[in-house]
Each structure stands twice: as structure tokens, then as C-alpha cells.
């Protein structure tokens, strides 16, 4: 398909939704905290926001869900936007090949997480953002999503955040281990509180697709001002492709062919640079913690349309 050919996004969304529905019955809703376990496993929504300013949706595309690790993309974006690229001395840029909450590489790699999109890496990025914002990491992320989506009602779900903290032994272990290597500036308690708070933002496919447009626009915000340099936007997209879906990033690149970030709330935000941002949501997860329905929908979208980065 030539790049500037007319694309019928609504038709593609309907086909992607049908592909997602065919995955019904596969996967499991995240149940490590009760607030996430309650979600209907069969819910599904998908939204596409284009750089021209059009928004298309299907299914429950305006239903808020817990963004969870999709926030890792937002924290990294804000850190780089605020000149925090010294964060690269404290976190790597290689795929981990391990689960998102793994501790195993931290010991051999001296408290330097493999990449910003696994929990360990996001803890370090949150720490950097907290310092850069004068102590308001989660608030900065929330403000950013509110502004880019044009939805001032977005909020952090306090029940999800509290529940994460209560069941957070593994994240606390990661954070303490990182701190033991001198790789946290703020206290473990502070950084985890901020991390759980930005993970607990509730937003819809529509909100996230509109926010993701910053990366589709090569770094421009909704008001046309520049947030990231073009090269920073390219780099974030590259890390999304190689690390955004954890130890399934290879399979995601193979099936979908777009940079994307998943979260255990079942959302995946994918970027079609220069064209659009696409968010799909379905709560049932595969063993790597990626939404079965969202991966199927994005696979169908790129396969049917030829719209991928390859």
C-alpha cells in the first residue's frame, strides 16, 4: 500500500476487533491484586488517533482501565524531555529476555537494570523523574496524559495504588537491591509510592492513543510545541520495539511490527511513526503479561493494512 493511500481506519478497527474476539477464553486476567482481578476478561476496546487529528474507536474504547506498565513509556518520555538523559548511566537499553518483574540480572549487572521498560528499569526512571520534577513524578505523568488526551478528568485509582503497595514485595525487593548499589537518589518508599501511583492511572484506549501521538509526531505535543527532539522520539520508539513487551518483544515485533508498550491492565499502546498511535485493550494476558486480545488485534491491524514500520 502506498503510504499516502486512503486508509479506512474504521474498517480496519472492525476487522481487528473481530480478531480480538476470536481469542476469547485464552489468557488470564492479572490477579496479583484484587482491584485488577475484578475486570471482565472479555472486555475489549481499540482506538486509533492520527497525526491529522482524527480519532477512531471500536468496542469499549472509551472505558478507562489501569494503564500499569504503559506508564513506563510516559516516565521515560518525560525524563528525556526534561534533559534527564544522564539516566542512561543508570539503566541499560538491551532487551532482558526475562519476565518484567525479574530480579535475576540485577545481581550480575550491579544494580543497573537492563532497560527502562521492565519494573527494575522503571523504578530508576521514576526516581530520576521524581528529582527532575521537584518531587512530583506521578503528578507529572498524570498531567501529561491529561493534557495530551484533552481529558482533564483522568485520575489515579487510589485503590489500585494502595493494593499494589500492599502486595509489592517483589518491587520492593527490586528497589532495595538497586538502592544497595547506590542507584536510587530518593528513598525506596518514595520511589515505590510514585511508581505505584503512575501505574494506577486509569485511562481509556482513546486517552492513551491521543497521548501516544507525541511519539507518532516525532516528538511534537498536541499544541504543536516540541517535547522531544526527533532523535529522542526515534530512540524511544526503538526501545519500545526491542523492550516494550518484555521477553515477548521478539514475538510482538514479528507479529505486529510496531513499537509498543504493554501493561498488566491489558492495554498496549503502539506507535506508527509519522501516522498514528493505536491503543488496544483486553484484560486477559498471555504468560509474558501481554494482552492476548490486544496483540491479536494489532497483529490483524498491521497484517491487513500493511501499516507497520517494516
Annotated binding residues, written as ranges, equal 69, 119, 164, 171, 195, 246, 264
Which single residue brings its beta carbon nearest to ligand GLN? 69
Annotated binding site for substrate: 69, 119, 164, 171, 195, 246, 264
Active site residue 196: no
DSSP 202-233: EE-HHHHHHHHHHHHTTTB-TTS-BSS-HHHH
Catalytic residue, candidates 9, 56, 196, 246: 246
What string of DSSP letters covers 106-138? HHHTTT--S-TTSHHHHHHHHHHHHHHTTS-HH
* Cβ nearer to ligand GLN, comparing 257 with 289: 289
Report in angstroms how near the CB of residue 5 gets to ligand GLN at its nearest: 36
Euclidean distance between CA atoms 102 and 266, whole angstroms: 19
From the candidates 66, 69, 163, 204, give the one annotated as an active-site residue. 69
Return phi, psi of residue 132, to 5°: -65, -30
**What are the residues binding ligand GLN (CB under 6 A)?**
68-69, 100-101, 119, 164, 171, 199, 263-264, 289
Of 56, 66, 72, 163, catalytic: 72
Please report how close the Cβ of residue 303 comes to ligand GLN at its closest, in angstroms.
Answer: 25
17 sits in the region (left: phi over 0; alpha: psi -120 to 50; else beta) called alpha
- Which positions ≥6 away from 300 have C-beta within 8 Å? 15, 16, 18, 19, 20
Q: Quick check: is 9 catalytic?
A: no
Q: Considering beta carbons, is residue 96 or 119 the nearer one to ligand GLN?
A: 119
Annotated active-site residue 32? The verdict is no
For 58-107, give the secondary structure using H, E and C: EECCCCCEECHHHHHHHHHHHHHHCCCHHHHHCCCCCCCCCCCCCCHHHH
Of the residues 264, 292, 295, 305, only one is catalytic, namely: 264
231 is catalytic: no
Q: Which is nearer to ligand GLN, 280 or 300 (CB)?
A: 280
Catalytic residue flag (residue 69): yes
50 or 68: CB nearest ligand GLN: 68
Please, what is the minimum distance in Å from the beta carbon of residue 74 to ligand GLN? Answer: 13
State the catalytic residues. 69, 72, 195, 246, 264
Amino acid at each position: 500500500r502506498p503510504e499516502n493511500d486512503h486508509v479506512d481506519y474504521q474498517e480496519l478497527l472492525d476487522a481487528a476487533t473481530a480478531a480480538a474476539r476470536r481469542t476469547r477464553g485464552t489468557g488470564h486476567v492479572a490477579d496479583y491484586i484484587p482491584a485488577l482481578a475484578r475486570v471482565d476478561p472479555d472486555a475489549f476496546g481499540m482506538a486509533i488517533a492520527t497525526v491529522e487529528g482524527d480519532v477512531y474507536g471500536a468496542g469499549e474504547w472509551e472505558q478507562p482501565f489501569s494503564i500499569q506498565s504503559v506508564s513506563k513509556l510516559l516516565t521515560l518520555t518525560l525524563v528525556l524531555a526534561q534533559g534527564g538523559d544522564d539516566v542512561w548511566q543508570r539503566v541499560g537499553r538491551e532487551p532482558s529476555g526475562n519476565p518484567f518483574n525479574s530480579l535475576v540480572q540485577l545481581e550480575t549487572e550491579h544494580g543497573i537494570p537492563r532497560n527502562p521498560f521492565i519494573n527494575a528499569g522503571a523504578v530508576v526512571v521514576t526516581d530520576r523523574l521524581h528529582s527532575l520534577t521537584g518531587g512530583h513524578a506521578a503528578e507529572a505523568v498524570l498531567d501529561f496524559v491529561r493534557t495530551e488526551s484533552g481529558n482533564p478528568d483522568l485520575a489515579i485509582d487510589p485503590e489500585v495504588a494502595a493494593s499494589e503497595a500492599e502486595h509489592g514485595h517483589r518491587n520492593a525487593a527490586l528497589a532495595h537491591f538497586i538502592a544497595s548499589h547506590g542507584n536510587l537518589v530518593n528513598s525506596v518508599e518514595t520511589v515505590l509510592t510514585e511508581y505505584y501511583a503512575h501505574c494506577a492511572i486509569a485511562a481509556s484506549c482513546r486517552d492513551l492513543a491521543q497521548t501516544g501521538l507525541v511519539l507518532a509526531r516525532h516528538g511534537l505535543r498536541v499544541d504543536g510545541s516540541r517535547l522531544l527532539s526527533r532523535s529522542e522520539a526515534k530512540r524511544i520508539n526503538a526501545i519500545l520495539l526491542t523492550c516494550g513487551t518484555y521477553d515477548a518483544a521478539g514475538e510482538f515485533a514479528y507479529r505486529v511490527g510496531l513499537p509498543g508498550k504493554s501493561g498488566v491492565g491489558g492495554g498496549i499502546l503502539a506507535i506508527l511513526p509519522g501516522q498514528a498511535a493505536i491503543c488496544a485493550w483486553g484484560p486477559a494476558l498471555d504468560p509474558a503479561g501481554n494482552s492476548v486480545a490486544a496483540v491479536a488485534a494489532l497483529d490483524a491491524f498491521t497484517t491487513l493494512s500493511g501499516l507497520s514500520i517494516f
